[in-house]
Amino acid sequence: MESESPTETKKGKSKTPKKEKESILKQKSPAEFFAENKNIAGFDNPGKCLYTTVRELVENALDSAEAISELPVIEITIEEIVKSKFNSMIGLVDRERVDEELYDDYETAKAREKRLAKEARAQEIQAKNAALGKKVKEHAVSKSSKGRGEASFYRVTCRDNGRGMPHDDIPNMFGRVLSGTKYGLKQTRGKFGLGAKMALIWSKMSTGLPIEISSSMRGQNYLSFCRLDIDIHRNIPHIHLHEKRDNKDKWHGAEIQVVIEGNWTTYRSKILHYMRQMAVITPYAQFLFKFVSDAPDKNVTIKFARRTDVMPPVPVETKHHPSSVDILLIKRLIAETSKQNLMQFLQHEFVNIGKPLAERLIGEMGPEFSPKMAVKSLTDQQIVRIHQLFRQAKFDDPSGDCLSPAGEYNLRLGIIKELHPDMVATYSGSAQVFEGHPFIVEAGVSVGGKDVKQGLNIFRFANRIPLLFEQGGDVVTRTALKRISWNNYKINQTQDKIGVFVSIVSTKIPFKGTGKEYIGDDISEIASAVKSAIQQCCIQLKSKIVKKMQAREQQERKRNLSKYIPDASNAVYNVLQEMAKSHASKKKRYEEGDADILQKVSDHLITKETLYEKLTQHVEKVDYEMALEYATQTGVREEPREDIYLQSLDGKGNFFDFHSPIFVFRLFL
């Protein structure tokens, strides 16, 4: 058998399978990852992106003002930008359509004729229903009226009176994902270093326009201005302009302006609902919200006025609890600590480890450990041993001193200010612990009010921020719906207008997902604390409701007695007349006192009118005595009341605040 020549082999088809191209190892920057997975940060669609941008900017502004104990004054403006104006902003010339069939909203003559006929039939049916007095449904807008490519753009501006930002830090604070000042163990509204950066990433994806930041710190005579965007692939800021300008007004704070694609129509109610809830949980802040459109009838301006100048204390950074750390965190603490030996490291890097306990722990670790050994020389095996002991040993729970809850006073004031309920009860629980992290649950329950729907209206807050989405899976919703027996507290779950407010603060809020949408129902410590707080409010309300029911019953008894006074006085007078006739004819003798009364009846000194007047006086007396007893028990006067808000004094002076669940007494020195 002859062998094939090399030439023939080349010409013939090769039977060897084609070798696959080797895969190349690639990596993504954090900015690139979140740009491709923006939904996990709350940027699901244009409408949600607009809402989340407003939310992140407002929360950053509040944090900034509270950090310097400044009463927050925040202005948020959403300006609608029509397509022609947006194109002129980016230097794009509008073009007329040349190929109509190319567009998504193109409609053939036959399709248009069919659509118009359908709309005409719908209008005819509507006219007939209207003539018959039936409810008329609003005609749906045809899909072809707006193509999917027709985007809406908005300029979002947020201005605050906070501490501002250092000039040199501004580029990295906005142009580098996963960089921020909130990564310590501390109660903060934000945790992930994403908020404002995600707004910038969305701006770059949807409009290509940079973000603009103006900032000045207290005491600075200049204002920092920075215009930048972000290099997605390298996760670094791309600075267009960064300069210092005159600060003639001595203003301090920050103003952030970003242009994004959004949808105001579908998320209008969510944004306004968020602002209203933020006003509830922060009554010490002043918010001015504006929506500006080319159509004046669409403009919205709402001012949420400040109702108190009592602010919660500033949260303080705390140290890690031994039961909450893992091996990586122990290694990081060892690398960052300034302490030399193991004894000092345990005492100063963790809470609730004093010198006696540190000595006992080191003795339990084994003979290779000693108090004076260099902490930097610990081996991986020794670090694992420390971690195992931390998980097994018993430690005191961390205190809640590092937390800053809204406070019963602010929560109650916020509820009254925004909802105007008939009655409200609040409760603030003591600090509790889950996974080594302290948390405090505050609750408020209101009955009645303005713009409140029948049934349960649930308002959820985490680290003093409203949670509006994913309500069904939240621990507060599940507890209020399934674990509270409202009838036991004289509250009708379906008929009464019930407001349930629950605020949870912690150094670690167990959000589900980075979007900070809801708190899971799988942490028994938090679920139990939420249930207890709501129940405490219900117990307070039950007492008020029972007393109100008693007062209503007393009024009903008075009405019933008064209703029978005319008939009773007539009947009694007729009986007395018959008795007087018998007494006058000497058919029957009565005792001296009764005889005197009968004589007065005969002489017309006692008439029907006299009896009517006496019975009315008696009913009034009984009602007064019962009302007096009720007022003595409740300690309040049931009279129409008007809310009065005391204005803060001009000037600053030294003072002490004495806090109570229902008021704050301020003593000026």
Q: Give the range with max mean pLDDT: 88-97, 168-177, 514-523.
A: 168-177
384-406 pLDDT tens trace: 999 999 989 888 888 888 888 98
Annotated binding site for ATP: 60, 160, 181-182, 190-197, 516
In which band, very low, low, confident or very high, does the pLDDT at 16 lie, cut at 50, 70 and 90?
Answer: low
Q: What is the pTM of this model?
A: 0.75
pLDDT tens column, 524-571: 899 999 999 999 999 999 888 888 777 777 777 777 777 878 888 888
pLDDT band at 146 (very low <50, low <70, confident <90, very high): very low
Find the helix or strand (DSSP H, E) in which 502 lies.
Answer: strand 497-506
Same domain for 154 and 286? yes
Percent residues over pLDDT 90 in the chain: 32
In this structure, what CATH number is given to the domain that contains residue 380?
Answer: 1.10.8.50
Q: What is the CATH number of the domain that holds 263?
A: 3.30.565.10
Render pLDDT for 220-243 as a digit per residue (tens, 0 to 9): 899 999 999 999 898 889 999 999
Question: For residue 304, which of 321, 284, 325, 322 has the smallest C-alpha distance?
Answer: 284
State the pLDDT at residue 145.
Answer: 45
Instruction: Tell whether 487 and 590 lie within a shared domain.
Output: no
Half-sphere CA count of 473, side-chain side, radius 13 A: 12
Residues 299 and 208 in one domain: yes
Indicate whether 77 pLDDT > 90.
Answer: yes
pLDDT band of 141, cuts 50, 70, 90: very low
Question: 614 and 563 in one domain?
Answer: yes
- Do both 233 and 371 map to the same domain? no
Q: Is the pLDDT of residue 123 over 90?
A: no
Co-location of 488 and 384 in the same domain: no
Q: Is residue 8 part of a domain?
A: no
Q: Which residue has the higher pLDDT, 34 or 180?
A: 34
Residue 542 lies in a domain: no
Q: What CA–CA distance (Å, rounded) separates 181 from 191?
A: 9
431 has a pLDDT exceeding 50: yes
Measured distance CA(408)–CA(316) in Å, rounded: 20
pLDDT value at 161 more than 90: yes
Pair (167, 294) in one structural domain: yes
For residue range 496-515, list pLDDT tens digits in order: 899 999 999 998 888 886 56
Q: Verify that 291 and 155 share a domain, yes or no.
A: yes
Within a domain: residue 112? no
* Residue 652 pLDDT class (50, 70, 90 cuts): low
> Which two tokens mark 513?
């997902």
Confidence (pLDDT) at 587: 63
- Tens-place pLDDT, residues 468-490: 888 888 899 999 999 999 999 98
Q: Which of 15-29, 247-261, 317-331 has the lowest mean pLDDT?
A: 15-29
Q: What is the CATH number of the domain that holds 469?
A: 3.30.230.10
**Cβ-proximal residues to 313 (8 Å cutoff; 6+ apart), any chain:** 404
Are the CB atoms for 195 and 140 separated by under 8 Å? no
- Say if residues 16 and 229 touch (Cβ distance below 8 Å): no
Do residues 522 and 447 share a domain?
yes
With respect to residue 309, please indicate whether it lies within any of the assigned structural domains: no
**Structural domain contains residue 320:** no
Q: What is the 3-state secondary structure (H, E, C) of 564-600?
A: HHHHHHHHHHHHHHHHHHHHHCCCCCCCHHHHHHHHH
Task: Confirm whether 216 is domain-assigned.
Answer: yes
pLDDT of res. 589 = 67
Same domain, 189 and 82: yes
Q: Are 176 and 282 in the same domain?
A: yes
Longest dimension (CA), the chain: 162
Which pLDDT band, with edges at 50, 70 and 90, does 656 fall under?
A: low
Of residues 296, 304, 349, the one with CA closest to residue 322: 349
pLDDT at residue number 143: 44
Range of the domain at 513: 421-537
- Domain ends where: 509, 537, 565? 537
Binding-site residues from annotation: 60, 160, 181-182, 190-197, 516
Number of domains composing the chain: 4
Residue 31 confidence (pLDDT): 85
Residue 189 lies in a domain: yes
- Would you say residue 6 lies in a domain? no
Query: Are 172 and 294 contained in the same domain?
Result: yes
